[in-house]
Amino acid sequence: MRRHLTARQETAYDSECFGAAEELFAEATEEGRRSTLKHYIIVKFREGTDVQAAAVRELFAETLSIPGIRGVDVRTSCSSRPNRFDMMIVIDMDASALPAYDVSEPHLRWKAEYGPLTEKKAIFDCED
């Protein structure tokens, strides 16, 4: 591409390439600064409640359409001890996605459908 350029054209070409590289670097740096968040929902359901993990997985899979949400994992407890929680939902997201998640249809449906079945819960957010 540079075979027939004058010295002035070559300087301009180098400057243009350097400018494009600077822009790409700035975007990558900004991406690296974007805070990522793990949002944990830990739930103990009321005695006698039969909540199916598959249904909860299906519900939370819908959150993957929210920009900034990267992944969802639903885990059930392997312990039957009475002082244990039953389920943990982990959402991997950009911190900036949390407000959109809070008002999302899947989140509101989770609260409406599963809130009455919940004995107690803990919500924990941390940077990843």
Q: Which residues does residue 57 pair with via DSSP β-bridges, in sequence order?
A: none
- At residue 1 the predicted structure's pLDDT band, cuts being 50, 70 and 90, is very low
> Each residue of 45-54: pLDDT tens digit?
999 999 999 9
**Three-state DSSP class for 68?**
coil
pLDDT in tens, 65-78: 999 999 999 999 99
State residue 25's pLDDT score: 46
pLDDT of residue 16 exceeding 70? no
| 75: helix, strand or coil | strand
- Read off the pTM: 0.73
Other beta carbons within 10 angstroms of residue 32's beta carbon come to 7
CATH 1.10.10.10 for domain 35-127: no
Separation CA 102–CA 124 (nearest Å): 14
